[in-house]
């Protein structure tokens, strides 16, 4: 089976006034369906650009991006919007809830832009909120919710159209350690129970430790790509076995 | 549909959040629409008055005046000659199929006396058909008849102004008045017609049988005893006015023994042409006023564009987020257009109310007739929506084509 995400020789060049910024300089990698990937790297390393491209918010300057077999670089504005709506859920560091809308209305938002009407949309939005532990807070405004609660609303919003990919840009960056850990638990559960592919950008090694694979960026290139955690353990075990067998 | 519904909700909410700003923006449209409504109301009021005048003067009316005379090389104006006669008036309905009625009229002025009161007024010598020709009726008493004309009875019909000045509140019917010292019995009072378009009092007159008027009041014309001042003709319908004029011209030329090439010794006018010209000029005036008023609508539109641009800027992050969760170009465009149109239509509706109140005030204060028709209201709604769409389009388009990444990053 083809990987969910496959990029080949992806580049992105910006023109900032006189200066040409080469944000991505040829990235090639594949991400399997159902993986949990952390993207790390210093600021300016191109990781945000990479995530924007994966999120179909932007198009590459050159190279290929196959999302579920579809060459994204050939799609127009509205086709990209359609893909974002159906296949991708975004989680932002600053939550990005609409301040004048209730939690319920924020969660419901992606349904408004879906091409087909969703049956029982209201009930679905209720269920999504309940699933992130916010039953009863439907009519609260974002300003009446704590940071952790706001991020839960954002997660419910990201999940309502049953996307295959969750793209999280420093989702715990504005939360305290405890709340951050709670949010990460939600990601782990989603990944484990529903097989959602999770990609998250983070500066924190603790957060990255929740992932199965860490991709390191520097100067617009991938500089490291390693399995971690349980996956790394399995892999390491295999390597040790191979090493022992090799020694024999 | 649900997107439109949610766009409207979002629009109303964002307008409600900035109440003062929304109200001030709407004010431009309110003033524009209100002034258009008020000026159109004044204009169509004037037009309506003229149309009422045309109806009051008698429908399908044609007036024949004697031509000018030339004596010793001195050409007098129209109406001086004595070329029209009672016999002409009799022959016209008999010979011209397009004519329904015709009646001769002679005119003069006289002092009228009743008891201690006296009053100078206009005397018309007419036949009974005059009532139908001028669309007149009696309010009290009776009209005079053909036999009154045939036997030159001394009977009179009085206009309302004459009655007021001679009798005050008393009932004049059956009383005797003296015109040039000749006693006349008042047989009826005419139903008031009010002012003419030219501002003449149409009720300040007395109608006498033409025969009596000639013998006792106005006198015979020395040149031609049969002469009349005017012949009034009613065509069978508005469409037959032209046909009637041609038939009358042919008949009168024949009766007056005019050779081909000789000029007519009479002139024919129809009232519709005269009033149509007046109506057209009042309509042009109204349109110019409305055009001036609609300039303020455009200014209101610029206000909307300004506020929408500010709103798009303030809500850049919101737009970016909506794009990220799947809003297409059209979704964002619709949302902001709905907002602009909501502003302009709400302003338009308030403007219509203000305009209606203004036209009532105008008609009270200035005494003009004003008419706010459904057409003007629909037009105002249509134009305010148009202003909203055309001035909201640029900001909405700007919002719709924002780059999602930059919009999300916008602080």
CA-based Rg of chain B, rounded to a whole angstrom?
33
Tokens 């989702």 belong to A171
**DSSP SS3 for A140:** coil
- Select the residue of A82, A98, A112 nearest B318 (Cβ to Cβ): A98
Candidate ranges A198-212, A218-232, B253-267; pick with highest mean pLDDT:
A198-212
**Sequence ranges of the domains in chain A:** 1-75+202-248
C-alpha to C-alpha distance for A214 and A216, rounded to whole angstroms: 6
- Say yes or no for a CB contact (<8 Å) between B317 and A96: yes
- Say yes or no for a CB contact (<8 Å) between B321 and A84: no
| B323 and chain A in contact, CB less than 8 A | yes
Contacts of residue B324 in chain A, CB cutoff 8 Å? 55, 57, 84, 90, 96
Asked whether the beta carbons of A38 and A207 are under 8 A apart, the reply is yes
- Select the residue of B2, B14, B329 nearest A112 (Cβ to Cβ): B2
Q: How confident is the model at residue A85 (pLDDT cuts 50, 70, 90)?
A: very high
- Select the residue of B317, B325, B404 nearest A85 (Cβ to Cβ): B325
Helices (H), B219-270: 241-255
Q: Mean pLDDT score of chain A, rounded to an integer?
A: 89
Q: Which residues contact B182 (CB under 8 A, 6 or more apart)?
A: B154, B216, B217
Q: Look at residue B218 in the predicted model and tell me its pLDDT.
A: 84
Q: Look at residue A95 in the predicted model and tell me its pLDDT.
A: 93
C-alpha to C-alpha distance for A157 and A171, rounded to whole angstroms: 14
Question: A12-61, pLDDT tens digit by residue?
Answer: 998 888 888 899 999 999 999 999 999 999 988 999 899 999 999 988 99
Q: Which among A112, A115, A167 is the top mutation candidate for probing chain B, defined by the most B β-carbons within 10 Å of its own β-carbon?
A: A112
Min CA distance, B317 vs chain A (Å)? Answer: 8
| A106 and chain B in contact, CB less than 8 A | no
**DSSP SS3 for B230:** strand
- Say yes or no for a CB contact (<8 Å) between A96 and B330: no
Q: Look at residue B78 in the predicted model and tell me its pLDDT.
A: 54
SS (H, E, C) A170-200: CCCCCCCHHHHHHHHHHHHHHHHHHCCEEEE
Q: Which residue of A has its CA nearest to B405?
A: A57
Kindly provide the b/e burial profile for residues B379-394, where b requires at least 16 CB atoms within 10 angstroms of the residue's own CB.
Answer: bbbebbbebbeebbbe
- Say yes or no for a CB contact (<8 Å) between A112 and B330: no
pLDDT above 80: residue A246: no
End-to-end CA, chain A:
36
Question: A139-152, pLDDT tens digit by residue?
Answer: 999 999 999 999 99
- Secondary structure of chain B: what % helix, strand, coil (to 5)? 55, 20, 25
Beta strands in A69-161 (DSSP E): 70-71, 88-91
Q: The CATH number of A1-75+202-248 is which of 3.40.50.720, 2.40.160.20, 3.40.50.300, 3.40.50.2300?
A: 3.40.50.300
| B318 and chain A in contact, CB less than 8 A | yes
Give the helix/strand (H/E) hosting B2: helix B2-17
Q: Look at residue B59 in the predicted model and tell me its pLDDT.
A: 61
Low-confidence ranges of chain B (pLDDT < 50): none
The residues facing A70 across adjacent strands are A67
Q: How confident is the model at residue A238 (pLDDT cuts 50, 70, 90)?
A: low
Q: Look at residue A82 in the predicted model and tell me its pLDDT.
A: 94
- Say yes or no for a CB contact (<8 Å) between B325 and A109: yes
Question: B41-51, pLDDT tens digit by residue?
Answer: 888 888 887 77
Q: Which residue of B has its CA nearest to A161?
A: B325
Contacts for B108-112 with beta carbons within 8 Å, 24 or more apart? B108/B213, B108/B217, B108/B218, B108/B219, B110/B179, B110/B180, B110/B206, B110/B217, B110/B218, B111/B179, B111/B180, B112/B162, B112/B166, B112/B177, B112/B178, B112/B179, B112/B206
| A87 and chain B in contact, CB less than 8 A | no
Q: Look at residue A154 in the predicted model and tell me its pLDDT.
A: 96
How many residue contacts between A and B have a Cβ separation below 8 Å?
Answer: 60
User: DSSP for B67-98?
Assistant: ---EETTEEPPTT-S---BHHHHHHHHHH-TT
The residues facing A24 across adjacent strands are A12
Q: Which among B9, B12, B324, B329 is the top mutation candidate for probing chain A, defined by the most A β-carbons within 10 Å of its own β-carbon?
A: B324
Asked whether the beta carbons of B129 and B101 are under 8 A apart, the reply is yes
Q: Could you report the predicted ipTM of this complex, rounded to two decimals? A: 0.90
If you average pLDDT over residues A96-124, what whole number do you get?
89
């Amino acid at each position: 089976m083809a990987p969910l995400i496959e990029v080949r020789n992806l580049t992105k060049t910006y023109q900032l006034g006189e200066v040409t910024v080469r944000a991505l300089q040829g990235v090639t990698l594949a991400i399997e369906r159902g993986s949990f990937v952390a993207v790390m790297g210093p600021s300016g390393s191109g990781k945000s650009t990479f995530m924007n491209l994966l999120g179909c918010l932007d198009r590459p300057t050159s190279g290929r991006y196959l999302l579920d077999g579809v060459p994204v670089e050939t799609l127009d504005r509205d086709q990209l919007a359609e893909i974002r709506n159906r296949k991708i859920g975004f989680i932002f560091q600053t939550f990005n809830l609409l301040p004048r809308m209730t939690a319920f209305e924020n969660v419901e938002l992606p349904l408004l832009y879906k091409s087909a009407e969703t049956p029982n949309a209201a009930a679905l939005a209720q269920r999504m909120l309940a699933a992130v532990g916010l039953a009863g807070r439907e009519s609260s405004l974002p300003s009446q919710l704590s940071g952790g609660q706001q991020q839960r609303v954002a997660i419910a919003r990201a999940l309502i159209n049953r996307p295959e990919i969750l793209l999280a840009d420093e989702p715990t960056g504005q939360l305290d350690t405890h709340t951050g850990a709670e949010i990460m638990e939600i990601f782990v559960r989603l990944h484990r129970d529903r097989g959602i592919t999770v990609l998250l950008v983070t500066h924190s090694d603790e957060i990255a430790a929740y992932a199965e694979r860490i991709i390191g960026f520097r100067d617009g290139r991938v500089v490291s790509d390693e399995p971690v955690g349980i996956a790394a353990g399995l892999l390491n075990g295999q390597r040790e076995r191979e090493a022992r067998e090799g020694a024999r | 549909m649900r997107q439109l519904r949610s766009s409207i909700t979002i629009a109303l909410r964002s307008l409600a959040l900035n109440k003062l700003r929304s109200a001030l923006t709407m004010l431009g449209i309110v003033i524009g629409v209100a002034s258009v409504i008020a000026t159109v109301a004044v204009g169509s009021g004037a037009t309506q008055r003229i149309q009422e005048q045309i109806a009051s003067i008698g429908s399908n009316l044609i007036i024949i005046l004697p031509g000018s005379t030339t004596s010793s090389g001195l050409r007098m104006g129209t109406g001086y000659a004595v070329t029209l006669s009672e016999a002409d008036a009799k022959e016209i309905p008999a010979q011209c199929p397009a004519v329904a009625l015709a009646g001769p009229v002679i005119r003069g002025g006289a002092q009228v006396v009743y008891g201690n009161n006296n009053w100078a007024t206009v005397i018309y010598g007419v036949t009974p058909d005059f009532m139908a020709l001028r669309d007149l009726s009696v309010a009290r008493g009776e009209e005079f008849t053909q036999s009154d004309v045939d036997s030159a009875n001394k009977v009179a019909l009085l206009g309302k102004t004459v009655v007021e000045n001679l009798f005050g509140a008393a009932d004049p019917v059956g009383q005797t008045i003296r015109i040039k010292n000749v006693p006349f019995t008042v047989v009826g009072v005419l139903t008031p017609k009010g002012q003419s378009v030219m501002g003449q009092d149409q009720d300040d007159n007395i109608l006498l049988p033409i025969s009596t008027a000639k013998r006792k009041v106005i006198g015979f014309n020395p040149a031609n005893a049969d002469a009349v001042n005017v012949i009034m003709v009613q065509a069978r319908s508005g469409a037959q006015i032209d046909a009637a004029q041609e038939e009358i011209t042919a008949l009168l030329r024949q009766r007056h023994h005019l050779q081909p090439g000789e000029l007519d010794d009479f002139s024919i006018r129809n009232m519709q042409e005269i009033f149509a010209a007046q109506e057209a000029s009042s309509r042009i005036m109204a349109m110019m006023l409305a055009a001036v008023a609609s300039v303020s609508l455009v200014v209101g539109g610029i206000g909307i564009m300004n506020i929408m641009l500010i709103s798009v800027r303030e809500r850049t992050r919101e737009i970016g987020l909506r794009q990220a969760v799947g809003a297409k170009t059209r979704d964002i465009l619709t949302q902001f257009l709905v907002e602009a149109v909501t502003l302009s239509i709400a302003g338009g509706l308030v403007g219509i109310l203000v305009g209606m109140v203004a036209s009532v005030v105008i008609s009270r204060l200035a005494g003009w007739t004003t008419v706010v028709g459904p057409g003007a209201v629909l037009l105002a709604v249509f134009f305010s929506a148009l202003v909203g769409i055309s001035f909201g389009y640029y900001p909405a388009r700007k919002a719709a084509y924002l780059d999602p990444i930059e919009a999300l990053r916008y602080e």
